[in-house]
Amino acid sequence: MKAFLTFVFLLLLSAPTSTAFAKQIVLIAGTPSHPPGMHEFRAGCLLFQKCLANIPGLEVTVYSNGWPTKVVGGTVVDDSDALANAAAILIYCDGGNGHPAIKPERVKVLDELAAKGVGLGFAHYGVEVPKGDPAAAMQRWIGGNYEHLYSVNPMWSPDYAQFPNHPVARGVKPFSDRDEWYFNMRWAESTNGLTPILVATPSDTVRKGPYVYPNGPYPHIIAASGRPEVMMWTLERPNGGRGFGFTGGHTHANWGDPNQRKVLLNALLWLAKLDIPADGVNSTVSEDDLKQNLDPKPQK
């Protein structure tokens, strides 16, 4: 019996660690763009990974420079298998026509993952896609998207003062960061399952612009004077899968705000269907942390 117990003990020691059974979150960081300190997708994703490093039962993987790839026969091809075991995926990237997720074969991959209940999140420019099939896909995944000449992208400081009774908002206290917070999303025809998380009311000055691009103003934005706007939202899809959109994140330094950071980290756990602490995901980020992993860019 003693020999048997020793054998079992040694077997347990040699067994795979709990990482093999951990839920996996995949963070896809887009290619470098904009001046230093802006659109720091890689640095942002690596910062999120660091902040989540001590969450039990979680493994976070970062892929830089867009969609995961591999080399086959000397040719670089998509490595969509890298996403196969993900419980949740965040895409933080440039959008529009160059959005890394809108190629038809990649839409198919994400549709298949979403059908299995995989959570999908998109941040900042990553919520903008062209009209047509890309917009329809984004609305399936997260309930809404930024639409060129319909949505707007001013630099402003929303006052986030109240939050819904939702796990993503746990422990988040009022905050206000000047950033390129998009608003006036194009919502899906049905908003069942959609919950606004970050809501604020732009002043008439903000509505009248200038917007970052195009400068505007747009009559339909001015006409909505006094209306609260949604800058972050979550979606519970009919099959139980989850999604979210976060329109801030242009300015990397704003991840130093513990409340902006917390609401995003909470959302990543929520996407993966992991428990969120009662006071949210607490993390510590130093000035030095914010300077790590910045893309090499020419000073302007």
Binned at pLDDT 50, 70 and 90, residue 300 comes out as low
Binned at pLDDT 50, 70 and 90, residue 297 comes out as confident
Radius of gyration of the chain (CA): 20
Q: Please tell me the predicted confidence (pLDDT) of residue 7.
A: 41
Q: How many CB atoms lie within 10 A of CB 12?
A: 8
- What size, in residues, is the chain? 300
Q: Please tell me the predicted confidence (pLDDT) of residue 211.
A: 98
Separation in Å, CA 201 to CA 2, 162, 180, 264: 70, 12, 15, 21
Q: Is the pLDDT of residue 249 over 60?
A: yes
End-to-end CA distance of the chain: 73
Please say whether the beta carbons of 51 and 265 come within 8 A: yes
Segment 189-202 shows an average pLDDT of 97
Q: Please tell me the predicted confidence (pLDDT) of residue 229.
A: 98
Q: Please tell me the predicted confidence (pLDDT) of residue 21.
A: 74
- pLDDT tens track for 115-171: 999 999 999 999 999 999 999 999 999 999 999 999 999 999 999 999 999 999 999
Q: How far is Cα 45 from Cα 292, in angstroms, rounded to an integer?
A: 11
**Closest-CA residue to 178 (of 250, 235, 115):** 250
- pLDDT tens track for 7-48: 434 444 444 444 457 899 999 999 999 999 999 999 999 999
Phi then psi for residue 183, to 5 deg, are -150, 175
Q: How confident is the prediction for the chain on average, in pLDDT?
A: 93
Which residue type sits at 212?
V
Q: Please tell me the predicted confidence (pLDDT) of residue 18.
A: 42
Q: Please tell me the predicted confidence (pLDDT) of residue 54.
A: 92
Q: Is the pLDDT of residue 88 over 60?
A: yes
Q: Is the pLDDT of residue 53 over 70?
A: yes
Q: Is the pLDDT of residue 5 over 50?
A: no
Q: How far is Cα 68 from Cα 118, in angstroms, rounded to an integer?
A: 17
Q: Please tell me the predicted confidence (pLDDT) of residue 299.
A: 72
Q: Please tell me the predicted confidence (pLDDT) of residue 102.
A: 97
Please say whether the beta carbons of 171 and 279 come within 8 A: yes
- pLDDT tens track for 232-248: 999 999 999 999 999 99
Range of lowest pLDDT (18-22, 174-178, 293-297)? 18-22
Q: How far is Cα 193 from Cα 216, in angstroms, rounded to an integer?
A: 32
